[in-house]
Amino acid sequence: MRSPLSTLPKAELHIHIEGSLEPEMMVALAQRNGIALPYDSVEAVRAAYQFENLQSFLDLYYAGAQVLQTEQDFYDLTWAYLQKCAAQHVRHTEIFFDPQTHSDRGILFEVFHSGITQALKDAKTQLGVSSALILCFLRHLSAEAAMATLEQALPYRDSIIAVGLDSSELGHPPSKFQAVFDRARAEGFLTVAHAGEEGPPDYIWEAIRLLKVSRIDHGVRCVEDPALVEYLVEHQIPLTVCPLSNIKLCVFDTMAQHNLKHLMDLGLCVTVNSDDPAYFGGYLAENFASVESALELSPEQLVQLAKNSFRASFLSPAEQQPYVEELETYN
């Protein structure tokens, strides 16, 4: 008998570890570290999560991240997310972290890096969840600050597979970071970038042509440029789409209006991801369930999305193959 679709093996390729900070942990870490929060309960934190755009979310997200102080805090944060992965059949995850959110508060690279990577190692042995780490530059800060962050990361390069670009998109095009990404590639890092979440298709072109990205994070606005869609299809450049995020940040008004199914029908390599699950109402399984019901996806389309998640990952083709074969048994 065929297994239920809820057990599909999946990879997650777009998750900001700081965005997995649940209100319960935020309040507990604030207490542990003697930090005052502008909320008097877990419920009040959750009630504040009403956003009208990306910036209104980022303001709360950066404020929330301030409770993260010690190596143990970063371990606990990462471990909680990885336990969710194990429970939701996420077998592999490629995790973003934002060094500048922490180093600009005086937290040493060594502190957050050790906490995160120790949890990743434990997840491999204790939960059977594999992972990779992607360092994101905050694009609202300067290119010089990004370059300094890259230099801080060089001693840790064996544990970081790629660099990415996140934070406020509008007004901060990929071209601003061309020199940093040139250097990162010369140092052996792969590249990805958020583009076409709120920003125009030209930012996606820049990410491809100037930053030479392997994947586009979000990318949903590509449909506004038919030549871009054609290019993305021809080169099968993956889009790491984040459905619940896009609704919470008002990129689409309702899930029924989300263009994920349309993107798949156009022949694009689309993956489903959670982005900032603690802020947007769900982890990977909830994102799958939401698009399945709102867009009436077929079982074949769900299996396709799961296959895409491994094919678009930084796992080697040989590492991807067993997952793809396992997914074939669902068809």
CA 133 to chain centre: 10
Which of ligand ADE, Zn ion, none interacts with 240 (beta carbon under 5 to 8 A by kind)? none
Residue 54 binds to ligand ADE (criterion: CB under 6 A): yes
CB nearer to ligand ADE: give 13 or 54.
Answer: 54
CB nearer to ligand ADE: give 76 or 275.
Answer: 275
CB nearer to ligand ADE: give 141 or 233.
Answer: 141
Which of ligand ADE, Zn ion, none interacts with 198 (beta carbon under 5 to 8 A by kind)? none
Cβ at position 275, least distance to ligand ADE in Å: 5
Q: What spatial distance separates the first Cα and last Cα of the chain, rounded to whole Å? A: 12
Residue 20 binds to ligand ADE (criterion: CB under 6 A): no
Asked whether the beta carbons of 146 and 137 are under 8 A apart, the reply is: yes
CA distance 60 to 45: 10
Cβ at position 14, least distance to Zn ion in Å: 6
Among 8, 9, 12, 16, binds ligand ADE (CB under 6 A): 16
Tokens of 23: 């209100």
Residue 65 binds to ligand ADE (criterion: CB under 6 A): no
**Tokens 């947007």 identify what position?**
280
Which of Zn ion, ligand ADE, none interacts with 197 (beta carbon under 5 to 8 A by kind)? ligand ADE
Antiparallel, parallel or unpaired: β 239-241 and 90-97: unpaired
Taking CA atoms, 311 is separated from 91, 93, 292, in Å, by 13, 13, 21
Q: Which residue is nearest to Zn ion (CB)?
A: 275
259 to 288: interface string for Zn ion, x by CB under 5 A: ----------------x-------------
Residue 274 binds to ligand ADE (criterion: CB under 6 A): no
Question: Which runs of E-coded beta strand occur in 161-295?
Answer: 162-166, 190-195, 215-218, 239-241, 270-272
Catalytically active residues are: 197
Which of ligand ADE, Zn ion, none interacts with 167 (beta carbon under 5 to 8 A by kind)? ligand ADE
Residue 241 binds to ligand ADE (criterion: CB under 6 A): no
Asked whether the beta carbons of 117 and 133 are under 8 A apart, the reply is: yes
Residue 206 binds to ligand ADE (criterion: CB under 6 A): no
Cβ at position 16, least distance to ligand ADE in Å: 4
Residue 290 binds to ligand ADE (criterion: CB under 6 A): no
3: DSSP letter:
P
Residue 100 binds to ligand ADE (criterion: CB under 6 A): no
**Going by C-beta distance under 8 Å and a sequence separation of 6 or more, which residues neighbour residue 10?**
88, 89, 90, 91, 284, 288, 306, 309
Exposure b/e, 154-193, CB count within 10 A at least 16 = b: eebeebbbbbbbbbbbeebbbebbbebbebbeeeebbbbb
Residue 198 binds to Zn ion (criterion: CB under 5 A): no
CA distance 215 to 223: 16
List the one residue out of 114, 117, 116, 129 whose CA is nearest residue 82. Answer: 129
Residue 92 binds to ligand ADE (criterion: CB under 6 A): no
Applying CB under 6 A, the residues found at the interface with ligand ADE are: 16, 19, 54, 61, 166-167, 194, 197, 245, 275-276
Residues found near Zn ion in the complex (CB under 5 A):
275
